[in-house]
Amino acid sequence: MASERKFIAENIRRVLLKEYLMHTVDRAGFGGVDVQRTPMGTRVTLTTERPGIVIGRKGSAIKMLTTEIERRFKYDNPQIEVQEVDDPNLNAQIMAEKLAFALERGWHFRRAGHSTVRRIMDAGARGCLIIISGKLTGERHRTEKFKEGYIKYCGETRLQFVKTGFAVAKLKPGVIGVKVEIMDPNARLPAEIDVLNLEQAKTALPDMVEQLTPKDTLIDATVPLDQSRTESDVDEEKEVSS
């Protein structure tokens, strides 16, 4: 098998595993899955809101799940590790499933969308974007967006700090798709920079300050710009003006 087909087949298997776990452990609050190849086998890290439901009594449920994963997806010696979500309100997949469940219970989509955004932002997220699409009102397809805070749509900042979750709500008029994007509370935007004064620079970057040559200048931010000029700078300005 060519290397390209091998990578594609492996990614397809991981997507199928994720969909299977989403339906299997939905009662525990599926928050994501990570698959890693190790010399001892395959490590499957499952993130859930309630790990006790996945593990079961005396580990019976997780043993059955391990056997089923090995039989269905042909993983070598799978080892399932269950982790608890630190804050469910900051997990995009869990919030998407909760929003879809609220729509299935009969909540109006605007009320459910605004309530979910408020919960996410109160948890400390830097930004949130919710997209609900489907037959919301009437017979025609619609798309509604609920946004608050900062959300990046492209670039390294999005890949690093924005988490995405997707769920489906099955209603009588049809299927409604729910997409949730959450920006990490600890995200640092490229435009956010810190300006250090001279004393802070000596404390934070002592090696860099010592490497400065006599020709280099380091402006003290606490001193006004006109007072930070040296006598040589003033003499040069007089020569140029004359």
Residue pLDDT, tens place only, 182-236: 999 988 888 888 787 777 777 777 766 666 655 455 555 555 555 555 556 656 6
Q: Residue 90: what pLDDT?
A: 92
Bridge partners of 149, per DSSP, are 127
CA distance 81 to 55: 10
Residues of the chain with CATH 3.30.1140.32: 89-183
Q: Residue 217: what pLDDT?
A: 53
Kind of pairing, strands 41-48 and 78-84? parallel
Residue pLDDT, tens place only, 54-72: 888 888 888 999 888 888 8
Q: Is the dihedral of CA 110, 113, 117, 123 positive or negative?
A: positive
Topology annotation, domain 3-85? GMP Synthetase; Chain A, domain 3 (3.30.300)
Q: Residue 232: what pLDDT?
A: 61
Residues of the chain with CATH 3.30.300.20: 3-85
CA distance 21 to 2: 29
- Cβ of 146: how many Cβ atoms within 10 Å? 20
Instruction: Write out the two tokens for 206.
Output: 């002592």
% of the chain residues with pLDDT over 90: 37
Instruction: List all residues 6 or more positions away from 158 whose beta carbon is below 8 Å from its beta carbon.
Output: 152
Q: Is the pLDDT of residue 32 over 90?
A: no
- Burial class from Cβ neighbours inside 10 Å (0-12, 13-18, 19+) for residue 193 reads exposed
Q: What's the mean per-residue pLDDT of the chain? A: 84
CA distance 45 to 34: 5
Q: Residue 119: what pLDDT?
A: 94
What's the whole-number mean pLDDT along residues 88-97?
92
pTM for the whole structure: 0.75
* Phi–psi pair at 77, nearest 5 degrees: 45, 65
pLDDT band at 170 (very low <50, low <70, confident <90, very high): very high
Helix/strand/coil (H/E/C) assignment for every residue in the chain? CCHHHHHHHHHHHHHHHHHHHHHHCHHHCEEEEEEEEECCEEEEEEEECCHHHHHCHHHHHHHHHHHHHHHHHCCCCEEEEEEECCCHHHCHHHHHHHHHHHHHCCCCHHHHHHHHHHHHHHCCCCEEEEEEEECCCCCCCEEEEEEEECCCCCCHHHHHHEEEEEEEEECCCCEEEEEEEEECCCCCCCCCCCCCCHHHHHHHCHHHHHCCCCCCCCCCCCCCCCCCCCHHHHHHHHHHHC
Residue pLDDT, tens place only, 117-167: 999 999 999 999 999 999 998 889 999 999 999 999 988 889 999 999 999
Domain spanning 89-183: CATH superfamily: Ribosomal protein S3, C-terminal domain (3.30.1140.32)
